[in-house]
Amino acid sequence: MTESADKLTPITVITGFLGAGKTTFVNYILKEQRDWKICVLENEFGEVSIDDGLVAESLDAPEDLITMDNGCVCCSVRGDLVRTLGQLVQRRKEFDAILLETTGLADPAPIVYTIQTNSKMSENYFIDSIVALADAKHLPLHLDEKKPDGSANEALQQVAFADKILLNKIDLVTPEQKTALKDRLALINKFATVIETERSRAPLDKILGLNSFNMESILNYEPDFFEIQEEAKHNLDLVSSVGITFQGQLHAQWFNMFMMDLLRERAADIYRSKGLLTFHGQGNTKFVFQGVHEQINFGPAKEPWKDGEERINKFVFIGKNLNREELTKGLMECLYKEEEK
């Protein structure tokens, strides 16, 4: 692709609700796609950031990952995204493609609007594709959600604006549930290609570099798209995030019990939980914790704690009605104490 370096740089926007498999997809692309030099723009919702570490593990050079953590990219779109892509203009010819991973609560519409209408953006970049990750198990729950103030349902917007929908986590649903969701997706967006995936493993030749983003299908869905975006405001009041970081070693069994109890009671409201953990008795192993509603798993990170690296526990919870004090207290009670050997 180097002969096209003087042309516009393609941006693949990777969207989809919290926990749908976006970071898994970015990592999959970085691992599988070796011909292209890729720059990743990460935007994570949550008070402490965890994904940047997980994506950085898959990149050859740390400067190829840019984290935008001044808020949700679709809200601060006229700020953070324009600034970041603006600064990248000087370096853009080093890259064949940009992957922009949005937060799970981003409405892709303002992102599209900004890249299409801001002259500095449109002189340097174009949207190659909008890929929405759809969590086959949990998406119906979020599509059904009614926003009391009439603001956009992000989960709906994400699939409505995509030209490719990866129907991910098909291992977690029955064939009937999968067919029902596919029918529903077709009603929301009849133009998008739906590709069934497990662990976001999609055939990349059907996704990248095809220039499949189509403004016409967006205008078909929302004829007043450009007018609406001028006024658009994204309401994140209903969903909040709690970030908790502390030192010490966790007691594996107590932590397990704490998370099981928490999710038994609160799984519907806790959309997403993530963590980097230090367990007692596990040497240098750094653990990664991933939760999407009641679905949780944790295991060792690719890299152990490095010599001299501060060993911490870092959590982020995203959802409704989160109680910071209770979560902090519950987690602190999972710390291993010498006298309880």
Ligand X SMILES: Nc1nc2c(ncn2[C@@H]2O[C@H](COP(=O)(O)OP(=O)(O)OP(=O)(O)O)[C@@H](O)[C@H]2O)c(=O)[nH]1
Per-residue DSSP letters for 41-73?
EEE--SSS--HHHHHHTT-S-GGGEEEE-SS-T
**Residue 171 lies near ligand X (rule: CB under 6 A):** yes
Of 272, 286, 293, 314, which lies in the binding site for ligand X, with binding defined by CB under 6 A?
Answer: 272
* 128 binding ligand X? (CB under 6 A): no
**Burial level of 112, CB count in 10 A (0-12/13-18/19+)?**
buried
CB of 7 to ligand X, least distance (A): 30
> Per rule CB under 6 A, is residue 168 in the interface with ligand X?
yes
Please pick, from the candidates 110, 290, 319, 331, the single residue that binds ligand X as defined by CB under 6 A: 290
Is residue 157 close enough to count as binding ligand X by CB under 6 A? no
- Name the segment binding ligand X (CB under 6 A); options: 193-201, 211-219, 234-242, 255-263: 193-201
Q: Is 43 in the site for ligand X (CB under 6 A)?
A: no
Q: Verify binding: residue 20, ligand X, rule CB under 6 A.
A: yes
Angle at Cα 38 formed by Cα 32 and Cα 41, nearest 5°?
A: 115
Radius of gyration of the chain (CA): 20
Of 107, 58, 102, nearest to 84 by C-alpha is 102
Among 200, 241, 278, 313, binds ligand X (CB under 6 A): 200
Take residue 59 and report the two structure tokens written for it.
């990149």
Distance separating alpha carbons of residues 268 and 110, to the nearest angstrom: 28
Q: What is the distance between the alpha carbons of residues 43 and 62, in angstroms, rounded to a whole number?
A: 16
Q: Which is nearer to ligand X, 118 or 275 (CB)?
A: 275
Where on the chain is the footprint of ligand X (CB under 6 A)?
16, 18-24, 44, 51, 104, 133, 168-169, 171-172, 198-200, 272, 290, 292, 297
